[in-house]
Amino acid sequence: MARKVVLLLWGAQTTQLLVQPPWTPPVLWDRVTLTCQGSGTAGATTWYKDGQRWRLQGPDRFVVTKSGTYQCDRPGTGLSPPVNVSNAWLVLQVPARALLEGDTVTLRCRGWQDNPVSWVSFYRDKKELEVLPSGTELSLSPLQLHHSGRYHCKGWVYSELSQRWAHSAPVTVTVHGVPLSGVSVSAQPPGAQVALGDRLVLSCAVAAGTGPLSFSWHRGDSWAPLGTSPHLELRHVGDNDSGHYQCRASNGDSVAESVPMNVTVRVPVANATISPGALAQPVRAGDSVTLRCSVQVGSAPVTFTWLHNGREVARGPLLELGDVHVGHSGTYQCVATNQLGQDGHRVFRALSPELALTVTPRAHWDTALSPAVAAGVGGSLLFLVLLLGVIVGWHRWHRLAARKHQERAPPEPPPTPEEGEVLYSLVGSTRNAGGSPHATSPQGTYAELPGPHGRQQDPSDIYENVL
């Protein structure tokens, strides 16, 4: 069963005329069938012959009985390209299909009503290509882009009526590149992960397709081209160069796009710091200390490592030291790191300034008591001080009240001693080594009392009574 071939496969969607048998130009003696193909119903086809409306609202196909130029019109897709049905003395025919680079194509030179033809010459753009004494076909294999052009043939045609040289009408041969497919993007360095300021080169490759290729580079949803060569070079990438990059390739007949490649620009860590930056006073043993490490710049993820006197002691952005002791004294630093790629082929580090930590031991009573006990003791002492103040105040008030009472009461008369009685006391008398009393203190307490006759006794009278 013969194939139906679209005359024109390239360009925008239009109404097409299908030719059977599939040769260009078709010849009348081949009993040519034309089929109109386009949008709308088949009964809505309008036919034109030699530029004039020929059949209005006719069928979508018919068998040609007269030579001429035919077109058809379908609603929505418009007028088809013209098809010339020839009835010439000599005709050069080309396959009525899209001619792709790499194909094998046969051009044939035919006499009217298939009369014999000899000494056939083939020409492209009026330049003779080959002369065949007995053959009538020219094979182009593999078909190349430079085979495009206007071809015609010349030959000696035999018929019952006459024999003569004849030239065919020129036929345009257009060789299309193979439709593009498999467009891909590669990156150097691989993975398209680069550090700030690095050089990045993206390359576009086409797996299938022929023809003179053109390229354009795009980022994200922008249609503005970044470059028009197979390679896109970013000499010094910035942090705003991250994004999805895509290559678009074209050979004039078809366009193909690559899968977007994600370019990641990583910022190396820098300016690592510890907060608090300095401790205002030495830390006492038993206290808690928390240090935090951070970086001013650096792409996540960032890891942190803590060093105590140059030795690793912990990891993470926070270093929590609870119940510190003298052994925690020394210098502390944190190391911030991030890297390129999963394999970590490039690692960036930032070292913070040193932080000095001094831990002083507590006093004995301070260290022996826990904070809760110390708080309890402090509260008890405060209570005792307040109680003592109340007691002292009460005594002072009581004494003051007694003094005021005495000042208001009448004085009592002193007791009257018997006549000649002397009151005295000796203080501090002891016995000497011999057992006899010996006054160690000559002091005495005495009071002068009136004598039996009402006179004051002389002090010497007291000593006389003692003796």
* 146 within a domain of the structure (yes/no): no
- 393 in a domain, yes or no? no
Output 274-282 pairs: Cβ under 8 A, ≥24 positions apart.
274/332, 274/333, 274/334, 274/352, 274/353, 274/355, 277/353, 277/355, 278/355, 279/355, 279/356, 279/357, 279/358, 282/358, 282/359, 282/360
Terminal Cα-to-Cα distance of the chain (whole angstroms): 176
- What is the residue-wise DSSP string for 134-155? S--EEEE-S--GGG-EEEEEEE
In whole angstroms, give the CA distance from residue 290 to residue 309.
Answer: 17
Q: Is the pTM of this model over 0.75?
A: no
Contact 269, 304 (CB under 8 A): no
Query: Which residue segment(s) compose the domain that 15 sits in?
Result: 1-87
Whole-angstrom distance, CA of residue 20 vs CA of residue 65: 14
For residue 105, being part of any structural domain is answered with no
Alpha carbon distance 229, 360 (integer Å): 70
Q: What is the CA radius of gyration of the chain?
A: 62
Give the chain's domain count. Answer: 4
Q: What is the model's pLDDT at position 388? A: 83
Answer with the one of 266, 290, 308 that is the final residue of a domain.
266
Same domain, yes or no, for 3 and 82? yes
**Looking at residue 2, what is its pLDDT?**
35
Residue type, 467: L
Cα(201)–Cα(212) distance, integer angstroms:
23
What pLDDT tens digit does each residue of the chain (467 aa) get?
333 333 333 345 688 999 999 999 999 999 999 999 887 776 778 899 999 988 766 688 889 999 999 999 888 788 999 999 999 999 999 999 989 888 999 999 999 999 999 999 999 999 999 999 989 999 998 998 899 999 999 999 998 888 999 999 999 999 988 888 899 999 999 888 899 999 999 999 999 887 788 999 999 988 889 999 999 999 999 989 999 999 999 988 889 999 999 999 999 999 999 998 777 668 889 899 999 999 999 999 999 999 999 999 999 999 999 889 999 999 999 999 998 876 667 899 999 999 999 999 876 545 444 555 455 656 777 778 788 888 887 777 777 777 776 666 555 555 544 444 433 333 333 333 344 344 333 333 333 334 444 444 444 443 333 33
Do 275 and 202 share a structural domain? no
Is residue 248 domain-shared with residue 274, that is, in the same domain? no
Cα 267 to Cα 153, 194, 348, distances in angstroms = 69, 9, 9
Do 2 and 28 have their domain in common? yes
Predicted pLDDT of residue 449 = 36
Q: Looking at the domain assignment, is residue 6 inside a domain?
A: yes
Alpha-helical (H) ranges within 253-370 are 364-368
